[in-house]
Structure 1
Amino acid sequence: MTESTDAPASDGAASDGTAGTDLLLLDTASLYFRAFFGVPDSIKAPDGTPVNAVRGLLDMIATLVTDRRPDRLVACWDDDWRPAFRVEAIPSYKAHRVAREEPGTTGVEEVPDKLTPQVPVIVEVLAALGIARVGAPGYEADDVIGTLTAREVARTAEGDGAPVGPTDRARVEVVTGDRDLFQLVDDAAGVRVLYPSKGVKHLELVDQARLAERYGVRSGAGYADMAVLRGDPSDGLPGVPGIGEKTAVALLDRYGDLAGVLAARDAGDAGLTATQRRRLTEAADYLAVAPKVVQVARDAPVGDVDDALPAAPADPEALDALTERWGLGSSVRRVLEALSR
């Protein structure tokens, strides 16, 4: 992985011509999984332990800080990768990713053997750097991101409400390899997603125009409604059998949102074919609970967060020791150079 360490533009613009962001939220597990699979596991510590995910994530952070110029940064964490409230609603939720059952949990996630020992190293390095790492008991990182986004939008609600365009400074940018978080996109609130389609140097900026162009939905909320109807095999969500993405988008375009589609079903609206009405009726139990599973929480129990971007490491001695032990020199140096700017 080759990451840029070029100095940012002097006018405050990010390197892609946009004006950067006030708050940058990282879907951390999504990013370190991508780093693990994108960086060769021949990248090892002096003792032979693979550190490809650690170094890949640090290089991502260095590039993001350099390119996006955030005022604040939070590495959002999965305190619970498969929350009980989602499993209770739809038992198949992420069931195919359970490596083994364990009492008192909804299962232990299947994680590559060479990645497992790297996660605690990531935790220690982020702490030594002084980068906020935040989770919430019983919730996923998606929910932490949704909650912090909602707080930031509420905090800035006194603004003029004008949509934030692609070249404007965003209030919140979410960096994730998970399309589920497209539901947070909101131009008027200044929220957009950065999706690493080809590595962190090739971020796809997802705003409402991009959602309309790529998926045919008008908003982040529309994307969530489409995901409910379509389902998502990667998360174990069945969707409505026989209603794929194209049909889901057509129904939402006709009736406005999921509530409108269900109202049309219940009213026997002539705009629905007999087959569509039957499929929606047969899936009534699923449709009653699926929005709770698909929609990210906006009220997860996240405490106050010191999210200021650190200009220097919080614990230089610990960082030096970790850097030496795990052979992280060049990656840590890139992060420190980015933070110092």
Structure 2
Amino acid sequence: MRSVTRRLMLLDTASLYFRAYFGVPDTVRAPDGTPVNAVRGLLDFIARLVQDHRPDELVACMDADWRPGWRVALIPSYKAHRVAVETPAGEADEEEVPDTLSPQVPVIEAVLDALGIARVGVAGYEADDVIGTLATRSAGPVDIVTGDRDLYQLVNDARGVRVLYPLKGVGTLQVADGEWLREKYGVDGSGYADLALLRGDPSDGLPGVPGIGEKTAAKLLAAFGDLAGIMAALEDPRSKLTPGQRKRLDEARDYVAVAPRVVRVASDVPLPEFDPALPREPKDPVALEELARRWGLGGSLDRLLTVLPQ
């Protein structure tokens, strides 16, 4: 029998429900007055994505650990500014999120489960790592939907992996493939992690190499190939690094030694067994009906249920 290529869509779920929360007015509420703007917004996002891109498989990737200890051990500033409160040693940090968003997350999870949309998170790893592992393992084309530029590192034209980056809702998406990355940043997917490492990322608490911005990082990568090539050039007094670049890279040796493991998404996460197939009908219609009634999911859920069988 001839094998059929299946298109996989991976959702950076937290990235999308954050966007939904801030993009949909908090006047969208359940019958009891509880805000459900993130829940309904995410359902509308998924409906539009399924309608426009027709994936055969869909996985909602979750942050089981949004700030893994192994990353923090390497770079203590990693996402430190996002920690809600100081926690006792040994306890997981809690991410600071809007008061009316946190209660919506369990509702989102319950609705996805009742629909039968695969929801995957793994202890000790971020959603990015789950996405990286699934994208690496997939035999078919992969669409990664995220508002996080970190995942540009997974773009791979040869394997059909691209990023769909929301510009306005999910109706207007930037399709990030290799050609777009090279035009925008001067690197392809395999070089983006090195670019991000050198440039730094304040939103993730990554300092980067002081004095080396995005354009300089891209020029260095073009000249020396990758981070290893740049650091080899630092050891070669005949290389064409400028005195200023040499000084900055030399002073950043400790950071450069550990940052790759922090910046690069994992591709070897031990995933649980799950069915990625996009459901054509709800897995648990009784539970879904109760959730729809309790939370007033109305047209948002109806729109998703309409496109799933198509």
2:265 and 2:158 map into 1 onto residues whose CA distance is 19
Q: Which moves more between the two structures, 262-271 or 91-100?
A: 262-271
- Equivalent residue of 2:84, what SS? strand
Following superposition, which runs of at least 4 residues in structure 1 exceed 4 angstroms of deviation? none
Q: 1:190 — aligned with what?
A: 160
Give 1:147's match in structure 2, choosing from 133, 154, 163: 133
1:276 and 1:285 map into 2 onto residues whose CA distance is 16
> How far 1:101 sits from its partner (Å)?
2.5
> How far 1:259 sits from its partner (Å)?
0.8
> Is 1:329 the equivalent of 2:277?
no
> How far 1:49 sits from its partner (Å)?
0.4
- Equivalent residue of 2:157, what SS? coil
Equivalences for 1:92-171 in 2 at 5 Å? 92-103=77-88, 104-152=90-138, 156=139, 171=141
> How far 1:288 sits from its partner (Å)?
0.2
> Is 1:85 the equivalent of 2:66?
no
Give 2:214's match in structure 1, choosing from 213, 235, 245: 245
Q: 1:314 — aligned with what?
A: 283
Q: 1:204 — aligned with what?
A: 174
How well do the aligned residues superpose, as a CA RMSD in angstroms?
Answer: 1.1
Q: 1:10 — aligned with what?
A: none
Equivalences for 1:252-263 in 2 at 5 Å? 252-263=221-232
2:130 and 2:186 map into 1 onto residues whose CA distance is 27
Q: Which runs of 5+ in 1 are unaligned?
A: 1-19, 157-169
> How far 1:267 sits from its partner (Å)?
1.5
2:211 and 2:195 map into 1 onto residues whose CA distance is 14
Q: 1:226 — aligned with what?
A: 195
2:142 and 2:24 map into 1 onto residues whose CA distance is 28
- Render the CA deviation track for 1:150-207: whole Å, top value 9, x for unaligned: 111xxx3xxxxxxxxxxxxx71010000000000000001100000012100011000
- Equivalent residue of 2:158, what SS? coil
> How far 1:106 sits from its partner (Å)?
4.0
> How far 1:216 sits from its partner (Å)?
1.2
Q: 2:51 — aligned with what?
A: 66
Q: 1:6 — aligned with what?
A: none
- Equivalent residue of 1:340, what SS? coil
> How far 1:70 sits from its partner (Å)?
0.4
Q: TM-score, normalised by structure 2?
A: 0.96
1:49 and 1:126 map into 2 onto residues whose CA distance is 19
> How far 1:68 sits from its partner (Å)?
0.6
2:161 and 2:186 map into 1 onto residues whose CA distance is 19
Q: How many residues align?
A: 305
Q: Which runs of 5+ in 2 are unaligned?
A: none
- Render the CA deviation track for 1:56-81: whole Å, top value 9, x for unaligned: 00000000011110010000000000
> Is 1:267 the equivalent of 2:236?
yes
Q: 1:163 — aligned with what?
A: none
Q: 1:221 to 1:269 in 2, by over 3 A?
A: farther
- Render the CA deviation track for 1:15-42: whole Å, top value 9, x for unaligned: xxxxx97100000000000000011111
Give 2:23's match in structure 1, choosing from 29, 38, 44: 38
How many percent of aligned residue pairs carry the same amino acid? Answer: 66
Specify the code of the residue in structure 1 equivalent to 2:119: R
Give 2:250's match in structure 1, choosing from 266, 275, 281: 281
Specify the code of the residue in structure 2 equivalent to 1:65: V
- Equivalent residue of 2:73, what SS? helix
- Equivalent residue of 1:91, what SS? coil
1:136 and 1:278 map into 2 onto residues whose CA distance is 40
Give 1:174's match in structure 2, choosing from 125, 144, 166: 144
1:269 and 1:53 map into 2 onto residues whose CA distance is 56
- Equivalent residue of 2:132, what SS? helix
- Equivalent residue of 1:115, what SS? coil
> How far 1:305 sits from its partner (Å)?
2.3
2:280 and 2:14 map into 1 onto residues whose CA distance is 24
